[in-house]
Structure 1
Amino acid sequence: MSYRLGVDVGGTFTDVVLADAVTGELVTDKVPSDAEQPARAVLHGVRRVLDRSGISPEQIEYFSHGQTFALNTVLQRSGARVGLLVTRGFPDLLSIGRLRLDDPIDLFTAERTPLVAEADVREISERVTVGGVVVRALDPDEVRRAVRELVASGVEAVAVAFLHAHLHPEHERAAASAIAEEFPELPVACSAQLWPEEKEYERATVAVLAAHVGGALGAYLAQLAGALRELGLSCPLHITKSNGGVAAVDERPGENLLAAVETLLSGPASGVAGAIRLAAAAGVHRMITMDMGGTSVDCAVVDGAIPYSTQSRIGEFPLILPSVEVSSIGAGGSSVIRVDPAGVLKVGPRSAGAWPGPACYGRGGTEPTLTDAYVVCGYLDPEDFAAGTVPIDVAAARAALEPVANRLGLGLEEAAESAVSVATAMMHAQLVPLCAQRGIDTADLVLVAYGGAGPVQAALLARALHTAEVLIPASPGTLCALGALSTELRADLVAPIGWRVADEVLARTWEELTAKARAWYLAQEHTLHPDVQLTRWADVQLDGQSFTLPVALADGVPATVAALREAFAADYRRAYAVDPGDAGIDVRTLRITLAAAGNLPLARRQTAEPAQVRPHLVVENGRVVKGEVHRRPGIAAGTEIQGPAVISAPDTTVFVPSGFRATVDGLGNLRLRGEANA
């Protein structure tokens, strides 16, 4: 028997999924994350799930994991101190950025603080024009002198970002070689090597992020790989990427730099990929994915395929590498509830974290959180939370919320329900514009909810959004780990176009990118990902404009400017409801995406345990009403449950409000529909 392991390291919990490679049957577990030593929590979770299943490490044929280590390193600015080499005359590249304010009417907007201090920037007297003419040759001795100064001042890694290097990377390569001669152990991230695309600020940011995170991520992966090998796992190790795919763990220093930027959004991305796969098996292709954990809610609007963006942000930093388009809201289960000086009830973004966590966890926390509000409202079952592994202290939850209720002049239950309503309103305010931008009516979508807290909040959000249905997977609390386990091998490659494109340039460039993509695939452990699909992309804009649209050229369509213009015109009309007419097009970048699907089957719903139903009280519309508690493992396929009800499971809890009916389908998914949609 062969098995596969998927792990997702979140801010509060580390989730582990063990899958039977033949039947798809799952064994899941959750352990508290370890912020100081994340690999320790992974190893603890893997040991637990193997021991519970009676499986030996030698039976594991595949391991993949998503992590927030790289992301947290950037957000906390806890990585390496980075020095930056730039073309002379551009020392303020990171400080100036794009001169765009996140909120133009905010009079108190904070000044941008780059990851590289002003004192750690060095100008190099080199210059190459956009056409490739060398105006000033690179002096390797000047590069070495600059790096000596930086290292002597305490710099731990170097990023190199020269003007027009995306088209002409020779000077960046020469600078890296000069540095390596004198400082062979110093990490050096060259912007054109990592992501050769125009936009100097964004390209430089990629190099700086890689230099800042690469060393720490490499040490983490080496520690994790060593611990797993010591445990007895001999299978290939994979890490999830921001583009929703996976790649083999490569511990070479240069590869760690690339992995550092490719995995910054890996956790949310693998969750979206897993949700789409499970929903598609249930016949759902248009959806809003809702991943609600302890610190945030990550949502994606899916209209038939994974949504991608090259305009993501990591805190205040832009990320131009393709990534799953996820919108984050700082309202998770551990988000702190407060009343601001104006007397307005707020939820988040500050979180109580994994430790001490919500007051109801009984770990010494005293601040009220959204989870405490769930407990007071009866949306969680204190007798069967997390399969009894986390005791719930109802009195502590009530005591934590009491000051909030007093400040608002409300009863305790009313204040708790109001906090839940605020969280719902925050999610609604984020999602409605996202759907409107795409011309999508939320009533036509299904809300796919997962994460530890998502199924608690999902029906309330669905009611506000008027979505047709809520789908809650069989194991929603560990779906990101399942996504890491079952997603595809995926690589994105890019090539800049620095002149007016011709048919032969299109064909040749895409052929070169295709060859590189196939070489990458052959270098991976690809046996379990046999089905390869290649997609050609181009970033195209109208002549004279400066905003591009990503245009895909369908299989079988010739690589010609005429075909690209036709595809661009269709996408332009779809995006702007305007016909571009005969206007000329400007092709800025060509891309190739290689995706190789895996072959892990989905398990069907097995025979249920004997049903367990108990009476329960919940708060709705400020009143305490009678409901029921059901245990999810005991609900057979086809069973219908009328709200109000609470459905407890080992990895999450589902709240079914009045007016909703829950049914179990053949895959074990819970399907919630309001009376208006029944």
Structure 2
Amino acid sequence: MDKTYRLGIDIGGTFTDVIVMDEQGRIAAALKTPSVAEAPEQAIFQALEQLQASGLDTARIERFVHGTTLGVNTLIERSGAVTGLLVTAGYRDILEIRRLRLENTTNLYGDKTLPLVPRHLVQEVDERLLANGSVHTPLHEEQLLQAVEVLVEAGVAAVAISFLHAYANPQHEQQAALWIRRRYPQLFICTSSEVWPQQREYERTLATVMNAYVGTRMGSYFKRLEAGIGAYGVQASVLSTMSNGGVMTAARASLEPVKTLLSGPASGVIGATYIAERAGLKQVVTFDMGGTSVDVALIDGSPVYSTENHVGDFPVILPAIDVTAIGAGGGSIAWVDSVGVLKVGPRSAGANPGPACYNRGGMQATTTDAYLHLGVLQADRFLGGEMQLVPQLAEQALQRLGDSLGLSSRQAAQAILDVATANMYAQFSPLMARKGVDPRDFTLLAYGGAGPMHAFLMAREVGIRKVLIPPSPGTLCAMGCAVADLRNDFVYTLHTSAGQLEPDELQRHFMTLEQQGRRWIGEEAAGGVRLAGVDVLFSADMRYEGQAFDLEVPLTEPEWNDPEAAQHRFHEQYQAVFGVNHSEAEVMFVNLRATVIGNTPKLPAMEVPAAADSCQVEESRLIDFDGEIQLTKVIGREHLSTETRLAGPVIIEEYDTTVFVPAGFSICRDQHGNIIGEAEG
């Protein structure tokens, strides 16, 4: 049988990461190519050319999965389509009023977030559904189309439809979309009942608006991508990653792009979960350090999910892997504030002009410049020697910064690393406390272009004793794309107290959600995805009556067949989270949820051949770190042994990153190719 491949691609703001894996779990190729912001597909085409030039047969790619930041960047940059919004009469200001919550409760003068749809592009429609889904005021075609005509004359290219209580009955939204598409086929149309039919009018409307806002641009991108890959012999269907860590077809992603907004960080967590499972680790904190930020997530057997994520200024109600940005990245700019205090980030030099050492016009010192100037990075080995760094430019930028602080260039470089680490610690510790975990019980799994370089410094600061660096850490997000399953979430708003439930009501609604999920899996699998099986997970958002916040409680089939058992599970979870429960209080079932997972064939655990030269230290290098000159061992990753442990300081060089192990840690390699670092003493 001919060898087939899985291709995973993660399009970031600086680089597009590519990984090719065979069905034995071996990495056949890994590379990075500069991203092209105005045409992201061009970086993919360039990567396919490089793969062909290396001798890889791209016609044997069976699975083509990619994630892109196009949607999230479109929102943050506010460069999406001119979008109109149709709402029920009386709700024109829903995007203006929002939740009336202060973004920062200590700042009474915060600026109000401007909505994606200005008020003059919001049109009211005379229709009304009641909370139970029954029709109070019918929808009239003529009046609806008059409202749309006003929007079309104003130049809209997309229309979002969000009517009151459409989560309970999608009839009016579906009819409106049908009439509009018939009259204006050129418009991108989406409805809230299709995007996310959950009670919470503002969040549901906002999700629909975001979907419409980025839909036109995402749809055009997917068309260009699908049309272009055929020239490289790729016959596989294009799949896109989702914020929940799953994948869906490009055709579906074109209609529901809001579900892809947080897919980049989510893909990294899926890749980290894949690595952790094969290393036998259950409790992991991921540490993804790129050019702009550090993203962290918890894996406690499986990734932790959330429905309270943010994209830029906007909350996103759709389920997503819970990833939090906690600090500066490799391109974060160091600067001095008005009272003379050194700061690092949040501004980043990005890819262009990039850090000063990139020699692309950047003048300000960054974290990357600091590592280069201290000797951790080698100028002629960045990206395997494909990109030459200029140490003199880094030194000049650091000296300018040092002059304003009364420090030498090397002292300024060390100060940048210390401040960046302190910033991370200041956000990391309370984050772990809120999640109720002690990070010292977890392994820090580091990836991203800069993650392995800074991970041991972070572990030292926090007190984490074990660090894991996976194979090809700079492309782990792309690996997550290659190993992800089909996955989607479905919701039904019930909002009923346990005492008012009808017989078998929970069972009836959960079975309907399961049918929706299995139908979705069937449609997506028909797009060319091999499945090994289908799983469905059930949960309910529950709370005590009178409370304003819910707990999502996982439920098994016997539990949702028995409301008493479901309530008992809620009491247990409430006790675990808050330390008390109120078993005598009335319990409300707010939302019912089903997550359907189409399991793709799992790759076997990869066994890495023993090092040809057991822990052959290629050279030693003097570095200036922690205020002293240190003789540091330098070794290529391919020479690491499973039998010999090296004590820090050690620098490990590979194509897509540099691993820096300070004194106080020792490292070795496991049988799967992971670098395992442990604190000494």
TM-score using structure 1 length: 0.96
Report the counterpart of residue 629 of structure 2 in structure 1: 624
Residue of structure 1 in register with 2:361 after alignment: 364
Kept after mapping to 1: 8 A contact 2:510/2:592: yes
For 1:190 and 1:558, locate their aligned partners in 2 and report how far apart those are by CA, in whole Å.
Answer: 30
CA distance in 2, matches of 1:363, 1:91: 47
> Following TM superposition, by how much is the alpha carbon of 1:363 offset from its aligned partner in structure 2, in angstroms?
2.3
Q: Is 1:475–2:472 an aligned residue pair?
A: yes
* Equivalent pair of 2:495/2:588 in contact (CA under 8 Å): no
1:143 matched to 2:141? no
Q: How does 1:159-198 map to 2 (within 5 A)?
A: 159-198=160-199
Task: Name the counterpart of 1:88.
Answer: 89
* Contact 2:134 2:169 (8 Å CA) reproduced: no
Structure 2 match to 1:614:
619
- What's the CA shift string for 1:501-560, capped at 9, x where partnerless? 344111111111111111111222365331322111111111111211111113554522
Residue of structure 2 aligned with 1:662, choices 658, 662, 667: 667
For the residue of structure 2 that corresponds to 1:209, the secondary structure is helix
1:28 maps to 30
**C-alpha separation between the residues in 2 aligned to 1:414 and 1:509?**
63
Bigger mean CA offset, 23-32 vs 266-275: 23-32
Deviation at 1:612, TM superposition (A): 4.6
1:297-316 → structure 2 map (5 Å cutoff): 297-316=294-313
C-alpha distance in 1 between matches for 2:132 and 2:508: 19
Whether 1:602 and 2:605 are equivalent positions in the alignment is yes
Change (3 A) 1:627 1:97: same
Separation of aligned partners in 2, 1:136 and 1:558: 35
Is 1:77 the counterpart of 2:75 in the alignment? Answer: no
d(CA) in 1 for partners of 2:624 and 2:558?
A: 58
How big is each residue's C-alpha offset from its partner over 1:472-520, in whole Å with a ceiling of 9 and x where there is no partner? 0011000000000011111111112144434411111111111111111
Question: Which residue identity lines up with residue 530 of structure 1 in the other structure?
Answer: A
Match of 1:551 in 2: 553
Q: State the alpha-carbon separation in 1 of the partners of residues 91 and 560 from structure 2.
A: 41
Q: Counterpart in 2 of 1:337? A: 334
Q: Which residue of 1 aligns with 2:517?
A: 517
1:588 to 590, 607, 620: 590
Give the share of equivalent positions with the same residue, in percent. Answer: 40
Distance 1:502 1:368 in 2: 65
Residue segments in structure 2 that go unaligned for 5+ positions in a row: none
1:38 aligns with 2:40: yes
Matches within 5 A, 1:213-612: 213-250=214-251, 256-258=254-256, 260-329=257-326, 331-499=328-496, 500-525=500-525, 527-554=529-556, 556-598=558-600, 599-610=602-613, 611-612=616-617
Cα distance in structure 2, aligned partners of 1:486 and 1:166: 33
Q: Is the 8 A contact 2:539 2:553 kept in 1?
A: yes
1:636 matched residue in structure 2 = 641
Q: Distance in 1 between matches of 2:649 and 2:139?
A: 71
Superposed CA offset, 1:549-600 (max 9, x none)? 1111135545221121011111111111112222111111111111233322
1: CA distance, partners of 2:136 / 2:415: 65
Contact 2:493 2:592 in 1 (8 A): yes
Q: Matches of 1:383 and 1:639 in 2, distance apart?
A: 28
Instruction: Choose 322-331 or 602-611, whichever is displaced more.
Output: 602-611
Q: 2:214, 2:94 → 1: CA distance?
A: 20
Give the aligned residue type for 1:188. Answer: I
The question of whether the paired residues in 2 share the 8 Å contact of 1:16 and 1:46 is answered with no
Q: Given residue 647 of structure 1, which amino acid in structure 2 is its aligned partner? A: I
TM-score normalized by the length of structure 2: 0.96
Contact 2:24 2:606 (C-alpha < 8 Å) held by counterparts: no
Letter in 2 for 1:608: A
Q: For residues 40 and 648 of structure 1, what CA distance do their matches in structure 2 show?
A: 29
Distance 1:578 1:141 in 2: 56
**AA partner of residue 288 (structure 1):** V
SS state at 2:96 partner: helix
Superposition map of 1:96-175 within 5 A: 96-175=97-176
Give the match's secondary structure for 1:244: coil
* Cα distance between partner residues in 2 of 1:595 and 1:133: 33
Return the match for 1:18 from 7, 17, 20: 20
Contact 1:605 1:637 in 2 (8 A): no
Per-residue CA distance 1:126-154 (angstroms, 9 max, x = gap) = 22221334332222211111111111111
In the alignment, structure 1 residue 653 sits paired with structure 2 residue 658: yes
Do the aligned partners of 2:640 and 2:668 also contact (CA within 8 Å) in 1? no
The Cα of 1:76 is off from its aligned counterpart by 0.6
Separation in structure 2 between the aligned mates of residue 169 and residue 558 of structure 1, nearest angstrom = 25
Is the CA contact 2:326–2:428 (under 8 Å) kept in the aligned structure 1? no
| SS of 2:437 mapped into structure 1 | coil
* Contact 1:501 1:587 survives alignment (8 Å): no
Aligned residues: CA RMSD? 1.5
How many corresponding residue pairs? 671
- Match for 1:513: what amino acid? L
Structure 1 residues 557 and 135: CA distance shift in structure 2, 3 A: closer
Structure 1 residue 399 displacement after superposition: 0.7
* CA deviation after TM superposition for structure 1 residue 297, in Å: 1.2
- CA deviation profile, 1:602-644 (whole Å, cap 9, x unmatched): 3211233443521112222222222121111222223322111
Structure 1 residue 330, shift from structure 2 partner? 5.0
Asked if structure 1 preserves the Cα contact closer than 8 Å seen for 2:365 and 2:397, the reply is: yes
CA–CA distance in structure 2, aligned partners of residues 451 and 613 of structure 1 = 25
Stretch of structure 1 that moved more, 603-612 or 513-522? 603-612
CA pair 370-503 structure 1, distance change in 2 beyond 3 A: farther
Task: Kindly state the Cα deviation for residue 421 of structure 1 after the two structures are TM-superposed.
Answer: 1.3
Paired residue secondary structure (2:328):
coil
List gaps (5 residues or longer) in structure 1.
Answer: none
Which shifted more, 140-149 or 518-527?
518-527
Q: Note the alpha carbon deviations across 1:97-151, whole angstroms, 9 max, x for none.
A: 1111121111441112110111111111222221334332222211111111111
Report the alpha carbon displacement of residue 230 of structure 1 after superposing the two structures with TM: 2.2
The 8 Å contact of residues 48 and 58 in structure 2, kept in 1 or not, is answered as no
Residue 174 of structure 2 aligns with an amino acid whose one-letter code is R
Question: How far did 1:651 drift?
Answer: 0.7
For residues 134 and 659 of structure 2, the distance between their equivalents in structure 1, rounded to whole angstroms, comes to 64
Report SS of the residue matched to 2:380. Answer: coil
State the SS of the aligned residue for 1:306: coil
Q: Contact 1:213–1:257 (CA<8 Å) still a contact in 2?
A: no
Aligned AA for 1:309? S
CA contact (8 A) 2:327 2:424 kept: no
SS of equivalent residue, structure 1 residue 122: strand
What are the Cα deviations for residues 57-83 of structure 1, in whole angstroms up to 9, with x where unaligned? Answer: 221111101111111011111111111
Tell me, in whole angstroms, the C-alpha distance in 2 between the residues paired with 1:333 and 1:635: 25
Q: CA deviation at 1:242?
A: 0.2
Is the Cα–Cα contact under 8 Å of residues 491 and 594 in structure 2 kept in the other structure? yes
